[in-house]
Chain A
Amino acid sequence: MTPYVQSVFTTALIYSLVTMGLYITLASGQFSIAHGMLMGIGGYAGGIASVQFRVPMILSLMVGAFTAALFGVVMALVLRRTSGVLLATVTIAIGQGVSLTAANLNSLGGSQGYFGIPLTTNLAWASGTALVGLVGLLVFRKTRLGLAMLAAGRDETVAQSIGISILKIRIWGFLLGGLLAGLGGVLLAHNNGLIEPSDLSFANEPLFFIFLMVGGLETPWGALFGSIGVWWLQELLRFGNSGQFLIFDQADRYWILGLVMVITVIVRPQGILTRKPIVWNPTRRSFQLLGVLGLFRGRRSDNTS
C-alpha cells in the first residue's frame, strides 16, 4: 500500500468511528446531531493529554473518549425535557456555539487551533480502534440494554410501555455516541497534529450523514462501509483537477456529495447498504431518479393532494 492509500484509509476509518457514534445515537431514537462537536471535544482532550502530560496514545484515546462521553451525558441530562426535531435543533446550536466559543478561548489556541500534537495516528491505530468500535457495537446490540435501545429507537411509546426507561436509553445513546466520536477525535488530532475550532463545527455534520446515508442506518457496518466508500469517492473526484477522467474539478466534490446525499435520502431513505434487499425495478427507479433531478414528475402513491 502506498502512503497515499494508507492515509486515505486512515482518515476514512477515523471518520467511520464518528459515524458509528452517530449511528448508535440515532438508532436509540435520540435525534441528536452534535457528533462533530463531540469529536472535537475528544480531540482537544486527547491532544491536551498528549502534549501537556505526554501520556501514551492508548491513554490519550481513553481520555478523549471519556471526556466526549461525559459531555454527551451532561447534554442528555440537561436536555431531558426536549425531544424530536426540537432536540435536533438544540444540539446543532450547542455544537455550533461550542465551536465558536472554542475559537475565542486563547488557552485552547483560539481560532488557530491547538497544535503541536504528536503525529501518532497511523493506519494500524485507526483500523485497530475502528475494529474495537465496530465489534463493541455489534456485541452491544445483542445485550439486553442494546436490544432495549434499538426497541426504543423504533417506537418509544411501545418501549416505554414494556418498562424501558427512556431517560436511561437517552443517556446511553448520548454516552456511546460521545465515546465513539471522541475516539475519532483523538485519532484525528494525532493524525493532523492539531485540532481546530472548525473541527467542532456543525459544518462537518453533513459529512457524517452522507457516510451514514450511503452506508445505511440499520447496522454499524453501514457506518464503516459508508465512510470508506464515500471517502474514496471524494478522493477520486479530487483527481478531476487534472481533467483526466472527470469533467469536474476538485472544488466540485463537495456539492456532488451534497447531491448524492439528497438523492439517496429520497430514493432509498434507509441508506444504500442495508439488510433490506434491494429490489431493482429499473424503470421505476430511473424515473424516480430523473424526477429528483426535476426532469420527470414520478408517480407517488399518496392520496393527499
Chain B
Amino acid sequence: MDDPKSARGVMDFVGVSRTALEVTSLSVNYGAIRAVQDVSLDVPRQGITALVGANGAGKSSILRALAGIVPECHGSIKLNGVDVSKLPARKRVIDHGIVLVPEGRGVFTTMTVRENLELGLLIGDRRRALGATTTFDLEEVYNLFPILRERGDKRAQYLSGGEQQMLAISRSLLMSPALLLVDEPSMGLAPQLVRRIFDVMSNVFAQHKVTVLLVEQDTKIALEIASFAYLLERGVISLAAPSAVLREDPRLKIAYLGVASTILSGDASDNNRGNR
C-alpha cells in the first residue's frame, strides 16, 4: 500500500496546483471502531474528484467528517486555506459553503418540492450575502430538472427515487456551495436513471464551476465524470491518480475483490480496530 503522503505527490505531478480542499491525516472513529485512518487528500477547485472503493471502505465517513456530522474525528480540514475542522456543521455550510448531498433520499418527504427548494434558497441567500460566488436561482434549477417545476406542489414523498435525488442535488445547488460533497447518488436507482443524473451533474458542475467531491460505489461511471480519483481501502487511501489512469489500473479491481475476501475471512475488523 502506498504511503498516504504520496497522494499529494501525484497531485503535484499532474500539475493541479489550485487546491480547494486540503485534508491532512483525517481519522474517524465510531466508538472503538476506526472507520477512517490517517487519510490525506486534495480536491482541486472547479472540478469533480471521485472517491471510490468497496462497501464499508469508509468513503461516506470521510464525507460526513468533512460536513462535520461524525461524533469523533481528528486531523485538519482546510477549505481555501482556512481550517474548518473545529467548526460545527452549520457554520461549515453557512460560512464556508461545504454542502453535503446525503446518501439515500436526502429530502424532506412531508414537505412539498417547492418547500424543499426554498429551504436551500434560505441558506443560499445568506451565503450570497456573505459573498458566495457559485449562485443558482430557482429558474436555473427548474431548467435543469423541469420535472421539479411540474411537481412543485406535490409532497416529496410522492416523487420517484430519481426525482428525489434530483431534488436533493437541486436544493444543495441553491445553497451556493463552495464545495459540494455528493454521497452515492446512484444508490437504489435504475441504471438508465443513474446515467441521466450523472450526465446532468457533470454538465452542471462543469458549466457552473462547482467544486465537487463525489463518493460512488459504481466506479465505472464515477471515473467517467471525475478528473481525478482516490481509491479507498479499509479506511486508507491506497491509490491516487487521474481517473483515466486509475481506470486502467489492475489494483482497482483487486481492491474490490480484496476487501470482499478479507471481510469473508473475518480479519477486517481486527485491522480496523483503533488503539484505544
Interface residues, chain A, with chain B CB atoms under 8 Å away = 303-305
Given A303-B88, A303-B89, A304-B90: 5 more A-B contacts, CB < 8 Å: A303-B68, A304-B88, A304-B89, A305-B88, A305-B90
| Alpha-carbon distance between A303 and B73 when the two chains are bound, in angstroms | 12
| Alpha-carbon distance between A24 and B89 when the two chains are bound, in angstroms | 39
Chain B interface size, under 10 / 10 to 19 / 20 to 34 / 35 or more = under 10
Residues of chain B contacted by A304 (CB below 8 angstroms):
88-90
A19 to chain B, nearest CB (A): 32
| Alpha-carbon distance between A304 and B71 when the two chains are bound, in angstroms | 11
Sort A-B residue pairs by CB-CB distance and give the 8 closest, nearest first. A303-B88, A304-B88, A305-B88, A303-B68, A304-B89, A303-B89, A304-B90, A305-B90
Interface residues, chain B, with chain A CB atoms under 8 Å away = 68, 88-90
| Alpha-carbon distance between A80 and B135 when the two chains are bound, in angstroms | 51
Residues of chain A contacted by B68 (CB below 8 angstroms):
303
8 A-B contact pairs sorted by A residue (CB < 8 Å)? A303-B68, A303-B88, A303-B89, A304-B88, A304-B89, A304-B90, A305-B88, A305-B90
Residues of chain A contacted by B89 (CB below 8 angstroms):
303-304
Q: Nearest CB to that of A305 among chain B residues?
A: B88
| Alpha-carbon distance between A303 and B89 when the two chains are bound, in angstroms | 8
Q: Nearest CB to that of A304 among chain B residues?
A: B88
B33 to chain A, nearest CB (A): 15
B190 to chain A, nearest CB (A): 30
Residues of chain A contacted by B90 (CB below 8 angstroms):
304-305
B100 to chain A, nearest CB (A): 15
Residues of chain B contacted by A303 (CB below 8 angstroms):
68, 88-89
| Alpha-carbon distance between A20 and B88 when the two chains are bound, in angstroms | 42
B24 to chain A, nearest CB (A): 20
Residues of chain A contacted by B88 (CB below 8 angstroms):
303-305
| Alpha-carbon distance between A305 and B68 when the two chains are bound, in angstroms | 12
B70 to chain A, nearest CB (A): 10
B22 to chain A, nearest CB (A): 21
| Alpha-carbon distance between A303 and B90 when the two chains are bound, in angstroms | 9
| Alpha-carbon distance between A305 and B88 when the two chains are bound, in angstroms | 7
B69 to chain A, nearest CB (A): 9
Q: Nearest CB to that of B71 among chain A residues?
A: A303
A178 to chain B, nearest CB (A): 36
Residues of chain B contacted by A305 (CB below 8 angstroms):
88, 90
| Alpha-carbon distance between A60 and B88 when the two chains are bound, in angstroms | 60
Q: Nearest CB to that of B88 among chain A residues?
A: A303
| Alpha-carbon distance between A305 and B87 when the two chains are bound, in angstroms | 10
Q: Nearest CB to that of B87 among chain A residues?
A: A303
A296 to chain B, nearest CB (A): 22
| Alpha-carbon distance between A305 and B89 when the two chains are bound, in angstroms | 9
| Alpha-carbon distance between A304 and B67 when the two chains are bound, in angstroms | 12
B72 to chain A, nearest CB (A): 10
| Alpha-carbon distance between A303 and B91 when the two chains are bound, in angstroms | 10
| Alpha-carbon distance between A304 and B88 when the two chains are bound, in angstroms | 6
| Alpha-carbon distance between A8 and B236 when the two chains are bound, in angstroms | 64
A269 to chain B, nearest CB (A): 18
A305 to chain B, nearest CB (A): 7
Q: Nearest CB to that of A303 among chain B residues?
A: B88
A91 to chain B, nearest CB (A): 28
Q: Nearest CB to that of A302 among chain B residues?
A: B88
B87 to chain A, nearest CB (A): 8
B30 to chain A, nearest CB (A): 15
| Alpha-carbon distance between A304 and B68 when the two chains are bound, in angstroms | 9
